[in-house]
Chain A
Amino acid sequence: MTRPTIILSFACLLLFQGCFQQIAVGSLTGIMEDGFLVLNEESDLALADASIASNLKLIESVLKGDPGNDKLLLMACRGYASYAMGFVEDDDTARALLFYRRGRDYGLRLFPADGALAVALRSDPAGLPDALRRAATSDVPAIFWTAVAWGSAINLDRTNPDALAELPRVEAMMEWVREKDPRYFYGGADFFLGTLKGSRPAILGGDTAASRVHFERALELNGGKFLLTYVYYAKSYARQTLDSALFGRLLTAVDTASIDILPEARLSNAIAQKKAIILRDKINEFF
């Protein structure tokens, strides 16, 4: 074989390998997206726990080879935030904080590094209102899940002034989602804002009246079928206003609902039922 032929063959091989890798990543991304849907329908918490943990590592492995893959970045962001909320936070807040931060960091990678949104979110919060005004409806999932992961990380890091200083950015992101697509993720923006405004006294910036409006709207948007809404309504608003009767009613709504009430969110609803039991055990501590 002549030298040019060897070089040509080697180049073809590299090209082929690159294509193959792209095809493989493309197929994997599709499989993982399907896997995500299947996982959301799972009702067995132990099986879901084990599957999500290994899937997250798989997503990260594939991301190593394709670091700019938006679908995978979104899955990693959403996956880490959801896993921390559903399976870690109630037992180990330090570990949950780690996962929420990881979710936030994957989420932030969804915004082009030199774009207005990335710059505003990372270092120029004054520019955030403008950057959000220019964002498109197609940005809703990225902004929503990044805000969920980021806000949840701040919630577990309340002694850290740097983290607290980032909360206005998260609130602005979620207000934007609420305006742009209030129905996204079962009224997720209202659910999140209800929790945020209902977990603090007015003197520290909370607003329980607004919190109640957000939760009621979220329930209206999801038809009362996304059970985590009731859990966080109880945990934030009902606790903050010392309304033990409402607390009990909200948790009973979770306990008595069928797990199949919303098949595509069976896992979230199973998590809600687990959390409702934990929360009910604290009734004497809260009221």
Chain B
Amino acid sequence: MTTLTRTPLIILGALLLCALTASAQEHVIKFATLAPEGSTWMNVMKEYDAAIRKESGNRLGFRLYPSGVQGDERDVLRKMKLGQLHSAGITGNGLTTVSPSARILDSPFLFRDQKEIDFAYGKFGPELEKAMDEAGYVNLGWAEVGYVYMFTNNPVRKKDDLSKTKMWMWEGDPIAEASFDALGIHAIPLSITDVLTSLQTNLIDGVYTSPLAAIALQWFTRVKFMLDLPLANAAGAVIISKKKYLELPEDLRTILTTNGRKYMRKLTELSRADNANALTTLKKNGITFTQPSSEDEVRSYAGIGSTARRKLVGKLYSQDVLDRLESSLEEYRRTTGPAKK
């Protein structure tokens, strides 16, 4: 081979290499979340990213935007519609927009323990994911936020104690509205950013959130009691726009979804541990946990949950899916016995 013929071959080789390098950067999934850098959510997302990069030979990877830098969940979903972002970690608010029926798993006093939660996600997850798919999103994995409790400045032992509470309600949240309506609470709708100040000024004296969020948002510094009976279990998920998903070659889709299930399950387990630790922290910081005064009282909350869930039929989900979910849980309880917290 002469030098003249060799040179173009070298150039061709270099061009091919450039093309390969360029293709390695083709499949970047822009992901946004409200979770801050260093949080369990972001730590697991980084592990997920590392796993898909490794398995795909660096052809697929996330670009992670933590800490709400891309805006709140509504902003992020809007940017996903415009193609500026492809993927997001979403919770209640975002789920209501993406696929309202998925919020059935957020409904009040539905689950008695975490095994029931896992059972319900296992049985109804695929159906709810199908609804997401029809709305243009692929669910890469459910990642729950965790049990939501009511925190108050007056002790709540009986349901009637709640009626005296000036309870905050996240404005525009249908689940909270139905729940507090059924509980006979006249809740005060406010933006989440106004909650701490409103607790300080006594505009409200009750809030609901997960134990970890109560600490991260510093709300725990302004309340004294927590009713030790979860109001609900808050759902979360990592989704990708179907458009972006379908642009990926099939082998990369498999890598993305297989790892999505794996790492979101890990995230759920870690979030449960975080929340369990957060409960201990709350106790250490002087929050008193109150219990429902009797078994009848516990049963009455279950009844309230049932009433609230019916108020959401037609708004978030169908009567059919609610009936099937409730009867599946009853069947599950008959076969597994008493709940374990």
Contact = CB atoms under 8 A, between A and B. Distances in A.
Interface string A124-141: 011000000000000000
B72 A242 contact: no
B196 A205 contact: yes
Interface in A234-274: 239-242
B67 A201 contact: yes
A50 interface: no
Interface string A175-189: 000000000000000
Contact of B278 (A126, A161, A203): A161
A285 B69 contact: no
A168 B221 contact: yes
Contact of B36 (A125, A165, A199): A199
Interface in B187-221: 192-193, 196, 211-212, 215-218, 220-221
Contacts of A158: 36-39
Contacts of B218: 167-168, 205
B257 interface: no
Contacts of A161: 211-212, 215, 274, 277-278, 280-281
B220 A203 contact: no
A203 B215 contact: no
Contacts of B220: 165
Contact of B217 (A162, A199, A205, A286): A205
Contacts of A27: none
A201 B281 contact: no
A283 interface: no
Given A161-B274, A165-B285, A201 B39 contact: no
Given A161-B278, A204-B217, A205-B217, A242 B69 contact: yes
A22 B39 CA distance: 47
A156 B38 CA distance: 7
Q: Among A125, A168, A203, A240, which residue has the most Cβ atoms of chain B within 10 A?
A: A203
A203 B281 contact: no
A152 to B, nearest CB: 12
Interface in B70-85: 70, 72
A147 to B, nearest CB: 16
Interface in B57-113: 63-64, 67-70, 72
B328 interface: no
Nearest to B71: A201
A98 to B, nearest CB: 16
A105 B156 CA distance: 38
Contacts of B7: none
Q: Would you call the interface of chain A mostly helix, strand, loop, or mixed?
A: helix
B40 A159 contact: yes
B38 A203 contact: no
B34 interface: yes
Contacts of A204: 34, 36, 67-68, 216-217
A205 B274 CA distance: 19
Contacts of A199: 36-37, 67
Contacts of B284: 162, 165
Q: Among A164, A204, A205, A240, which residue has the most Cβ atoms of chain B within 10 A?
A: A204
B43 interface: yes
B84 to A, nearest CB: 11
Contacts of A164: 212, 215-216, 281
A159 B38 contact: yes
A240 B67 contact: yes
A202 B215 CA distance: 15
Interface in B205-248: 211-212, 215-218, 220-221
A38 to B, nearest CB: 35
A200 interface: yes
Contact of A242 (B70, B193, B285): B70
A201 B278 contact: no
A159 B63 contact: no
A155 interface: yes
B72 A203 contact: yes
Interface in B262-278: 274, 277-278
A270 B70 CA distance: 32
| 10 tightest A-B CB contacts, nearest first | A201-B68, A158-B38, A161-B281, A161-B278, A202-B193, A164-B215, A165-B215, A162-B281, A161-B277, A159-B40
13 contacts: A155-B38, A158-B36, A158-B39, A161-B274, A161-B278, A162-B281, A162-B284, A168-B218, A201-B34, A201-B67, A203-B68, A204-B68, A239-B69
Given A162-B284, A241-B69, 5 more contacts: A158-B38, A201-B69, A205-B216, A239-B69, A285-B64
Interface of A: 125-126, 155-156, 158-162, 164-165, 167-168, 199-206, 239-242, 285-286
